[in-house]
Amino acid sequence: MQEITLKELLEAGCHFGHKAERWHPKAAEFIYQERDGIHVIDLAKTKAGLEQAAAILKKMGEEGQIPLFVGTKRQAAPIVKAEAERVGAPYFCKRWIGGFLTNWSEVHKNLEKIRRLTEEQETGAWNKFPKHERVKLSRYLGRLNMFYGGVSHLTQAPDAVVVVDIRREDVAVAEGRKMGKVLIGIVDTNSDPNEVEYYIPSNDDAVGALQLLIKVLADSYAEGVEIRGKGEAAKKEAEAKSLQVPKETSKPEKEAGTEKKQTNKEKATESVPKKVIRQPADHPEASPAEGPQMKSEQLEKKVKAKKQSKAKKL
What is the spatial distance between Cα 215 and Cα 45, in angstroms, rounded to a whole number?
Answer: 18
Question: Would you say residue 251 lies in a domain?
Answer: no
Termini Cα distance of the chain: 137
pLDDT for 205 equals: 92
User: Could you give the residue ranges of the DSSP H alpha helices within the chain?
Assistant: 6-12, 43-63, 77-87, 104-123, 131-148, 170-178, 207-248, 250-271, 290-313
Yes or no: say if 9 and 40 are a contact pair by the CB < 8 Å rule.
Answer: no
pLDDT for 258 equals: 57
- 0.85 cut: is pTM over it? no
CA distances from residue 116 to 107, 127, 158, 234 in whole angstroms, order as listed: 14, 15, 21, 35
Domain of 77, CATH number, reads 3.40.50.10490
Which DSSP string corresponds to 253-276?
A: HHHHHHHHHHHHHHHHHHHSPPPP
φ/ψ (deg, to 5) at 74: -55, -40
Question: Would you say residue 254 lies in a domain?
Answer: no
Question: Would you say residue 145 lies in a domain?
Answer: no
pLDDT for 244 equals: 78
pLDDT for 230 equals: 87
What's the sign of the alpha-carbon dihedral 74, 213, 30, 179?
positive
Is the model's pLDDT at 286 over the cut of 50?
A: no
Question: Would you say residue 161 lies in a domain?
Answer: yes
What is the spatial distance between Cα 270 and Cα 294, in angstroms, rounded to a whole number?
Answer: 32
Q: Which amino acid would we find at residue 257? A: G
Question: Would you say residue 65 lies in a domain?
Answer: yes
Q: Which of 38-47, 146-155, 160-169, 237-246 has the lowest mean pLDDT?
A: 237-246
pLDDT for 241 equals: 80
Question: Would you say residue 306 lies in a domain?
Answer: no
Q: How does residue 288 score in pLDDT terms, banded at 50, 70 and 90? A: very low
CA distances from residue 22 to 25, 56, 190, 222, 309 in whole angstroms, order as listed: 10, 31, 6, 36, 159
What's the structural domain count of the chain? 1
pLDDT for 232 equals: 80
Domain that holds residue 91: 6-101+157-236
Question: Would you say residue 91 lies in a domain?
Answer: yes
pLDDT for 71 equals: 94
What is the spatial distance between Cα 100 and Cα 172, in angstroms, rounded to a whole number?
Answer: 8
Between residues 260 and 35, which one has the greater pLDDT?
A: 35
Question: Would you say residue 47 lies in a domain?
Answer: yes
Q: Which of 96-110, 240-254, 292-306 has the highest mean pLDDT?
A: 96-110
Q: What is the mean pLDDT of residues 130-147?
A: 91
pLDDT tens for each residue of 178-215: 999 999 999 999 999 999 999 999 999 999 999 999 99
